[in-house]
Amino acid sequence: AELRKASKRLSCHKRYKIQKKIREHHRKVRKEAKKRGHKKPKKDPGIPSAAPFKEELLREAEQRKQRLEELKQKQKLNRQKEHEKKRKLEAKKNAATIKEKAEGKESSGKSKGKTKKLLNKNSKKSFCRELMKVLEASDVVLEVLDARDPMGCRCPQLEQAVTCSGGNKKLLLVLNKIDLVPKDNIEKWLNYLKKEFPTVAFKSATMMKDKTMEQVTKRHARVDFSATSQYFGSKCLLKLLQEYGKTQDKAIQVGVVGFPNVGKSSIINSLKGKRACNVGLARGVTKSVQTVHLDKQTKMLDSPSIIADPSNSALALALRSIIDPEGSDSADVLEGVKAIINHCSKQQVMMHYNIPDFRDPEEFLSLLAQKRGMLKKGGVPDIENMAKLVLFDWTGARIKYYSQPPGFQKPPPYLTEQKIAEMQEGFNLNNLEQENSNTVQALKHPSPANSIAFQSAGMTNGTIEENKVTEEGSEWGNMETSKEEEEEEEEEEEFTESDDDEDNVEENDDDDDDDDDVKEVNEGFTRDGFFPGIKETTLSLSFSLDKPADEDDAYDFNTDYV
């Protein structure tokens, strides 16, 4: 049934009131006009009959009227023609859309093949392709490691590809986020890693000041960005790269590689002294190669993250996978958080989160959700969202944890004494060691009591060859496109020096031997953790609801009792 229009009828009281207001308004207008001396315009009396040439004047007036009418008709015809043109164009567009829909089934197969190559910028294969471009184009490769778990951030496949490339490439290790680790632990790791590769201690700036930041600080004097905008170790790394460039007598290209959230783009921003690359808390912000010129002799190449192999442990996939927790399944996130808690000191976790004793990781999440007020209907703790928050904390820079280096020095099989000597050639190692000690002394480090002892799972296997990437079947689900992809595409610079064609890496015959080598390296790390009795199956909650709300003998206010 059609809805009737609202009636315009008014009550007499309202109608009389309106009329009264109108009369008052008219009276007021007349009064003001009288004061101003405004008079009504007099009517045109026309041409008097006694005036000479009256007939000629009347004819001219009639001719003017006719011209005006003709102009109006012409304008009307022009408007009609424009409307007809618009209708014809709309009809053509409608016909074209109908044809496209009819031929859509035939053209969909062809168009899908073209659009996949263009739109899959966020796929794992494109990440590997861009990473290989950086490895092939760079003279020096910086492998960025998180100082909280340096061994877990090392990728044996990447290190072997660089050391065995045969193109006089150098590999440097950059130990980032050293301000989150106790001082003694940093010194131990520097002594351990420098025996294999030249290692630089670094603390990158997480938030670089730009024009917008300066305006904010002027308006609000209390805002302090000193902790996030300070960086240490940049002079040491710049000096190291510049000295190596002088020995080569040419401009060098430096590629920055590593797993997600280790601070690759932040290191480039710190070396440049301003925000040159996009950074963010989300994993996989950098999706293609970005070039940044430090000076005439040094060019930095920012690369996408290394893809973690699905065969890694749950701990490695939780911390080093490129998938964002928001876009992954809650079961995978829960499994990752369980693996993290199982590899930590229980007492220190309780002290850090200020929660009572717990039997298993799931009870830990329920206690933490209750403390922070993350509850579902009926007061049930929201364990899934709590697990995502915990994983964000551990992959970001909020949690201060540390891992101990292996008790014995056993370099991987691809690192022979000759290879180690080749990697160290061209660098002033004594000066580097002195600069590292100065950097460590200049920073304020947390005490071991305020940090969490963490048990590393060893090196993380990565996939750098495009042919070996499997888009489906990964534990963390398929890649999702980010919301800020359009903005990033405008800011990212195109990498013009490398070929646009897909670069296929030559397959080595010793692939099976490499996997065995990686297993030998990881033998020194146990994965049982501090909770050996806990299985990785789904655990029950620490609390139980004996009665549902329907069975309670409470008074029901929704029913009427007679």
The C-alpha atoms of residue 369 and residue 158 are separated, in whole angstroms, by 39
* Cβ proximity of 244 and 298 under 8 Å: no
Cα 184 to its chain centre, rounded Å, is 33
User: Nearest 5°: CA angle at 435, between 429 and 439?
Assistant: 140
Phi, psi of 171 (to 5 degrees): -120, 120
Q: Give the bridge partners for 171, in sequence order.
A: 141
Q: How far is CA 161 from CA 83, 150, 158, 169, 508, in A?
A: 68, 19, 5, 10, 10
Number of H helices, E strands in the chain: 19, 10
Phi, psi of 197 (to 5 degrees): -135, 155
Q: Identity (one letter) of the amino acid at 150?
A: P
Q: Which pairs from 405-411 meet CB under 8 Å and 24+ separation? A: 405/150, 405/151, 405/188, 405/189, 405/192, 406/151, 406/192, 406/524, 406/525, 407/524, 408/524, 409/192, 409/195, 410/520, 410/521, 410/524, 411/195, 411/196
Supply 376's token pair.
């579902």
Nearest to 179 by CA among 127, 138, 231: 231
Q: What is the pTM of this model?
A: 0.59
DSSP secondary structure code for residue 427 in this structure? S
Q: Which CATH number fits domain 124-208+226-309+412-446+453-463: 3.90.1300.10, 3.20.20.60, 3.40.50.300, 3.40.50.10260?
A: 3.40.50.300
Nearest to 315 by CA among 132, 153, 520, 483: 153
Residues of each domain in the chain carrying CATH 3.40.50.300: 124-208+226-309+412-446+453-463
CATH number of 314-395: 1.10.1580.10
The C-alpha atoms of residue 53 and residue 267 are separated, in whole angstroms, by 95
Burial state string for 461-483 with b = 16 or more CB within 10 A and e = fewer than 16:
bbbbbbeebeeeebbbeebeebe
Cα 467 to its chain centre, rounded Å, is 26
Nearest to 260 by CA among 19, 7, 482, 467: 482
Nearest to 192 by CA among 179, 173, 171, 220: 173
Nearest to 276 by CA among 497, 127, 491, 495: 491
pLDDT tens, N- to C-terminus, the chain (562 residues): 567 788 889 999 999 999 999 999 999 999 988 888 766 677 777 778 888 888 888 889 899 999 999 999 999 999 999 999 999 999 998 988 888 888 775 655 555 554 444 445 567 787 888 888 888 888 899 999 999 999 989 998 888 888 888 778 888 999 988 888 898 999 999 999 888 889 999 888 776 554 444 433 444 444 444 455 677 788 888 888 888 888 888 888 999 999 888 888 888 888 888 877 767 666 667 777 888 888 888 888 888 888 888 888 888 888 887 655 555 667 788 888 888 998 888 888 898 889 998 888 889 999 999 998 889 888 899 988 898 888 888 887 788 889 998 888 788 888 888 888 888 888 888 888 888 888 888 888 888 888 888 888 888 888 877 776 665 433 333 444 444 444 444 444 444 344 444 344 344 444 444 444 444 444 444 444 433 333 333 333 333 333 343 434 444 444 444 4
What pLDDT is recorded for position 525? 41
What pLDDT is recorded for position 18? 96
User: Nearest 5°: CA angle at 441, between 440 and 442?
Assistant: 95
* Cβ proximity of 256 and 135 under 8 Å: no
Burial state string for 287-317 with b = 16 or more CB within 10 A and e = fewer than 16:
bbbbbbebeebbbbbbbbbbbbbeebbbbbb
Residues of each domain in the chain carrying CATH 1.10.1580.10: 314-395
Supply 12's token pair.
């007499």
Nearest to 191 by CA among 437, 438, 533: 437
Q: Identity (one letter) of the amino acid at 451?
A: S
The C-alpha atoms of residue 458 and residue 33 are separated, in whole angstroms, by 94
Residues, the chain, total? 562
* Cβ proximity of 321 and 311 under 8 Å: no
Q: Identity (one letter) of the amino acid at 35?
A: K
Three state DSSP letters for 229-272: HCCECHHHHHHHHHHHHHHHCCCEEEEEECCCCCCHHHHHHHHH
* Cβ proximity of 262 and 145 under 8 Å: yes
Supply 434's token pair.
């002195």
What pLDDT is recorded for position 113? 53
What pLDDT is recorded for position 218? 42
Three state DSSP letters for 15-83: HHHHHHHHHHHHHHHHHHHHHHCCCCCCCCCCCCCCCCCHHHHHHHHHHHHHHHHHHHHHHHHHHHHHH
The C-alpha atoms of residue 513 and residue 515 are separated, in whole angstroms, by 5
What pLDDT is recorded for position 125? 80
* Cβ proximity of 303 and 286 under 8 Å: yes
Three state DSSP letters for 95-152: HHHHHHHHCHHHHHHHHHHHHHHHHHHHCHHHHHHHHHHHHHHCCEEEEEEECCCCHH
